[in-house]
Structure 1
Amino acid sequence: MTDDTTAPLEEKIAHLDRTVSELSDIVARQEREIAVLTRRVQMLMEREAEREFDSGGSVPLADQKPPHW
């Protein structure tokens, strides 16, 4: 291959490499955000279960299986 044909390929590879790196950073950030949100939802579910149990409920809502199970 001559330099005329390799230059566009090298540019494409550089562009794709940068895009993959950016997407990897985005996925890593989203993974951290999902982990934080999952912990928050779990805490809220536990709080609601405690509140329901304290108000006289027999089985906390978080421990009940859906009716289709």
Structure 2
Amino acid sequence: MEKPDIIDHRLTELEIKTSFNEDLLEQLNQTVFRQQEQIEALIREVRELRRQQPDNGPGATPGLRDELPPHY
């Protein structure tokens, strides 16, 4: 059977590892949360840009106002 000192040392090492894992998990959760907020903000922005886009769509031929003058 193992000596009590060795068991105590192993237990301490496991507690330290568990503590680091808990900290890492919390950091990862915060990162995922921030990324989800950014994704949602980008989705809102894309929706707003689509709403502002003219009805004729991106593939439509440009109007006379959209064309550059010949001297460009």
Same fold (TM over 0.5): yes
| Structure 2 portions without partners, runs of 5+ | 56-72
Question: How many corresponding residue pairs?
Answer: 55
Q: How does 1:44-59 map to 2 (within 5 A)?
A: 44-56=42-54
- Mapped pair 1:14 → 2:39: no
Instruction: Tell me whether 1:35 sits opposite 2:42 in the alignment.
Output: no
| Alpha-carbon separation, structure 2, partners of 1:5 and 1:16 | 17
Q: Which has the higher contact order (CA 8 A, sep 6+)?
A: 1
Which stretches in structure 1 are left out of the alignment for 5+ residues? 58-69
> Runs of at least 4 residues of structure 1 off by over 4 A?
none
TM-score (norm 2): 0.69
Question: Which residue identity lines up with residue 11 of structure 1 in the other structure?
Answer: H
Q: Partners of 1:7 and 1:56 in 2: how far apart?
A: 75
Please say which structure displays the higher CA radius of gyration. 2
Instruction: Report the CA distance between 1:53 and its aligned residue.
Output: 1.5
Shift of 1:56: 3.7
Normalising to structure 1: TM-score of the pair?
0.72
Structure (1/2) with the larger helix percentage: 1
